[in-house]
Chains A and B, each alone.
Chain A
Amino acid sequence: MQQKWKMAFLLIALLGLTNIAICQSTVQFKMMFNNQVFHKDSSYQNKAGETIQIHRFMFYTTKWKLITATNDTIPLSKEHFLINIEKEASMILPFIKGANAKKIMFDIGVDSILNTTGIQTGILDPAIGMFWTWRTGYIMAKMHGVSPQAKTAGNRFSYEVGGFQSPYNSVRTIVLELPIPAEKNKSITIKTNLANWFSGKHNIQISTFPNCHNAGKLAMQLADNYASMFSIHSNN
């Protein structure tokens, strides 16, 4: 009897493994502000105690890969995606998960070659508005909002991070550990904590820096900050 159970278990496990190899999986972003689920235009406080409402939040992502337990890299997609809080569908990326992965890797930003070869199409069309026309380069990530602490017209703050050339290359590579064992048929949810824009690595206050509209030091610091905003949802 015991033997039979073991056999059945093994068979199920085997089926499961083959399933992993072909199953369609997804990556999903879940927007957070610290421990709360983020809602557009709700009021939050950043680490410096500044009250903020965010109404626009977008970023490009590309070069999605999985790292297996044996440190093999499995490319998921070379496409660029634009994550936009105003478009629910943009926050779900469909990938074929090919193996039992240990880590997931991706870039925030647009590949440098696409910043130097003229005008791109599709999601990278400059008409989308994630592009600087006065100085060539994609806006890798964008956050617009209001804060009483912003000493600007309409108390608006506007962070547009770009720059693809050294020493101000704002592209960041993110590596996240996946829970072990990674379950089959389950999508990966990546929590995205918007509060990190202000305090992920550097403390950035809206009262001092209400605007970022160029490549440079501030853009680099904001990129460092938001590079730390991702974590795998523990219920994965």
Chain B
Amino acid sequence: MQIKRTILFIVVLVTLCAGFIGINKNQSIPKRVPFIVPKGWPKPVYDFNKNPLTEAGIALGKQLFYDGQLSKDGTISCGSCHQQFGAFNSYDHPLSHGIENALTTRNAPALFNLAWQKEFMWDGGINHLDLQPLAPITAHNEMGEELENLMTKLKKTKQYPKLFKAAFGDETINTQRLGKALSQFLLTMVSSNSKYDRVMRGEDSFLLPEKLGYAIFKTKCAQCHTEPMFTDYSYRNIGIPLEPYLKDLGRMTITNEAADSLKFRVPSLRNVMVSFPYGHDGRFFSLMNVFEHYRNNMQIGPTTDTLLKNKLPLSNYEIGQLRAFFQTLTDSVFLKDPRFAEPSIGIKSNPPLDQHN
């Protein structure tokens, strides 16, 4: 009798346990993905505790990044203006196109190393990476969509409720989850494998012009384009005159301080050779235009940066060496990384011809 009871007890126990195992199997636990900080780089500013990277989260972010449904008429995705071969800038477009032939007012910046960036947009008006995509999604001259409508559209699809469940545990689709998923994908876009990086890691060495250029860079550029991010993330007026049609005052739009007039975020010089045109409104077609601006065309105004009060003298020789150094900042691994490529297109083996540099 006792033995029978014991057996029954064990059978019931095992059945129960098996049941629990079954339940656990049905409950998808998103697989964590570690975020690796390149050696010698500062600590990221993004709070990964509030949005840990997972395989499913990154996949959902990538799906959203390349989905035209995020725009009002389905024609524009994030990837339309952020193209991988240009380090996720807009190829050869001073200003990019939005829905219904609209034109934007600023140059689409290259996207990489966003985990280290505290503020976004050329004027720094956005204070969190999760919030950043909401700006182009809702801007009437970019993707022109209303968030509420976008959520309704995504909920109606077959795939998205499943993808959100895989990433966040249930099928809820809201703005917060959209932002977090896009952030997860964007955060994985780390560019740290240029020749410069290999040299710094001791795996490669500079050619003579690159080495000379690096020395010139350190004396003339590095105060603002600080290593290893090649920007100090500050806002500065580099003597760009006010564009009479766009009338963009930059940082002042956000702070309302006259002292911030015509100040824009210092862009990173990583991948600079492939991310033309340059400047907040894309007014410089080539690096040569930029050098010419610094040494000749600057307009010194009351808010021009103190480091540039006498412009930035550059000889032809120096420009030549700087160009050689800037070539070493191109991260071809990043530009061809299949993890970031548009799913339906894949990696373009031949990026478009470099027309200007």
Contact = CB atoms under 8 A, between A and B. Distances in A.
Contacts of A118: 50-51, 128-131, 176, 179-180
Contact of A136 (B125, B139, B175, B253): B125
Contact of A135 (B125, B130, B175, B178): B125
Nearest to A134: B135
B175 A168 contact: no
Given A215-B256, A217-B256, A133 B134 contact: yes
Contacts of B130: 118-119
A215 B256 CA distance: 8
Interface string A117-134: 111110001111101011
A145 interface: no
Contacts of B146: 127, 129
A109 B147 CA distance: 21
A135 to B, nearest CB: 3
Contacts of B50: 117-118
B125 A134 contact: yes
A121 B129 CA distance: 16
A234 B105 CA distance: 53
Nearest to B120: A136
Identify the interface centre among B129, B131, B139, B151: most chain A CB within 10 Å of its CB: B131
B235 to A, nearest CB: 14
Identify the interface centre among B127, B146, B151, B253: most chain A CB within 10 Å of its CB: B127
Given A134-B139, A214-B253, A216-B256, A116 B127 contact: yes
Contacts of A126: 131, 134, 147, 175
B174 A127 contact: yes
B138 interface: yes
A174 B99 CA distance: 44
B126 interface: yes
Contacts of A115: 127
A121 B174 contact: yes
A113 to B, nearest CB: 12
A168 to B, nearest CB: 7
A64 to B, nearest CB: 25
A133 B127 CA distance: 11
Given A126-B147, A126-B175, A168 B131 contact: no
Interface string B141-185: 000001110110000000000000000000000111011100000
Interface in A127-179: 127-129, 131, 133-136, 168
Interface of B: 50-51, 121, 123, 125-131, 134-135, 137-139, 146-148, 150-151, 174-176, 178-180, 253-254, 256
Interface of A: 115-121, 125-129, 131, 133-136, 168, 214-217
Given A118-B131, A119-B134, 15 more contacts: A115-B127, A116-B128, A118-B129, A118-B179, A119-B128, A119-B176, A119-B179, A120-B176, A127-B150, A128-B148, A133-B131, A133-B138, A133-B139, A136-B126, A136-B131
14 contacts: A117-B50, A118-B131, A118-B176, A119-B131, A119-B175, A119-B180, A125-B175, A125-B176, A131-B134, A133-B139, A135-B121, A135-B126, A135-B253, A217-B256
